[in-house]
Every structure is written in C-alpha cells, then in structure tokens.
Amino acid sequence: MKLPVIIVNFKVYQEATGENALKLARIHDEVAAETGASIGIAVNAVDLVNVIGTVKIPVFAQHVDHTGYGSWTGKVLAEQVKAVGCYGTLLNHAEYQIGNEELEQSVKKCHELGLFVIACAETPARAAEVKKFEPDLIAVEPPDLIGGDISVSRAEPGVIVEAVKIAGQGRLLVGAGVKSGEDVKIALQLGASGVLLASGVIKADDPKKALLDIVKGLDF
C-alpha cells in the first residue's frame, strides 16, 4: 500500500453501515481516483462483501478473531475476510482491544494468508509491545481524543514524535480527532506515514468535502 495513507474507519456509525456504507465507500473511491491519494477504508464485517464488490480502494476488516474454522460462534475469521477480498485488517483497536497472545497469533495468521495488518496501540509504550508482533503498520491513537474535536496532531504532537521513534519510519499511523488537512500535514511533518480517522469524515455534513480537505494534507 502506498504511503502516506489515509485510512477511514467506518466503525458502526449509522452513517457508515448498510446502504450508507456503500455510499460512503463510493465517495472514498471517487476521491482516491480524482486525487491519486492512497485511501483505505475499514468496514464492519456485515458490510464487507457489498463494499468490496463496489469499490477499488483497499478495504480492511475492523477486527478478526484469532481462531480458525471450527466450533465457534460469532467469530470473524481472517480466512473469511481474505476469502471475500479484504486487503487487510485492523487489530487491537482501542474499541476492540485484545491481549498479546491473541494479537501475536492473529498477526501471524493474517500474514500467512497475505492480509495487511494495522495494529493499534493507545500509547507509544503499547506500540513498543505491539511492534514485537511485526504488524505492517502501527496506529497510535490516544483514547481520550477519539471521536473528539481536537486532533492528536494538535493536542499530543509529542506522542507522535515518540511513537515514530518506536515504530520506525514508514511504520506509523496516528489517529484520534483528525478532521482536516492541517491535522494530516502536522502528523506527517512529525514523521507519521498516514492517519487513521473516523468521525472527521463520517459525521461531516459533507463527507466528500471533508475527505478532500483531509487529502490535501498529504502533499506538503
């Protein structure tokens, strides 16, 4: 995947599930095609098949379980998301945290299947632990800022600098409260290779306009 990248997590916002997921996914696809920006979307498991059938940009699962096929109920398997055409998955999002053992097993299995893994961490210290499992990218998101109006870039620039040192160049995304091209620009200037965001696009009155503004932060 081309860096720097913008990954938009659809979560389970009503504006980003079902028919709305398709509309929003098309907007991301259009913006990627019109601007040449590297954009990925992380979509709820229920909507993956429909969204993947609709867009060309990389589609990520929001989580996969570490178990394989078998007598489990309610699990979403790496094998399944691979089979329907996912590019990769998020793991250990602040809103879906897992333990180290599970994370290690999941990263390993995803890589065996050829899935790209973005592992999340709440702090640079947690990023250091997560790094041991060798995800493709680490996304550091201070939980207090998630869903809020003040971005990690403005509120916690020191966190980005510290996290880049830990994750390494070309390995770090940052997120939480990212709403504008300026937020993206600051994150990249501090050494991040992209951003992970949600509400800045999904809750915007005009998601396409919001995404176009965010994309502007990529060329600084």
Size of the site for ligand G3P (CB under 6 A): 14
Whose Cβ is closer to ligand G3P: residue 133's or residue 194's?
Answer: 194
Q: Is 81 in the site for ligand G3P (CB under 6 A)?
A: no
Q: Is 89 in the site for ligand G3P (CB under 6 A)?
A: no
Cα–Cα dist 68/155, whole Å: 40
Minimum CB–partner distance for residue 89 and ligand G3P (Å): 13
Q: Is 112 a catalytic residue?
A: no
Positions in 148-187 near ligand G3P (CB under 6 A) = 175-178
Q: Is 200 in the site for ligand G3P (CB under 6 A)?
A: yes
E runs forming strands in 74-133: 88-91, 116-121
> Tokens 């995304």 correspond to what residue?
173
Whose Cβ is closer to ligand G3P: residue 79's or residue 98's?
Answer: 98
**Residue 205 structure tokens:** 């009155």
Q: Is 198 in the site for ligand G3P (CB under 6 A)?
A: yes
**Residue 84 structure tokens:** 């329907």
Minimum CB–partner distance for residue 72 and ligand G3P (Å): 25
Whose Cβ is closer to ligand G3P: residue 62's or residue 101's?
Answer: 62
Q: Is 147 in the site for ligand G3P (CB under 6 A)?
A: yes
Q: Which of 63, 66, 122, 141 is catalytic?
A: 141
Minimum CB–partner distance for residue 62 and ligand G3P (Å): 8
DSSP string, 3-48: SSEEEEE-TT-GGGSTHHHHHHHHHHHHHHHHH--EEEEEE-GGGH
Nearest to 19 by CA among 49, 41, 47, 60: 47
CB neighbour class for 198 (10 Å; exposed up to 12, middle 13-18, buried from 19): buried
Q: Is 141 a catalytic residue?
A: yes
According to DSSP, the residues that pair with 6 across neighbouring strands are 39, 195
The site for ligand G3P (CB under 6 A) is made up of 9, 93, 141, 146-147, 175-178, 196-200
* Enzyme catalytic residues: 93, 141
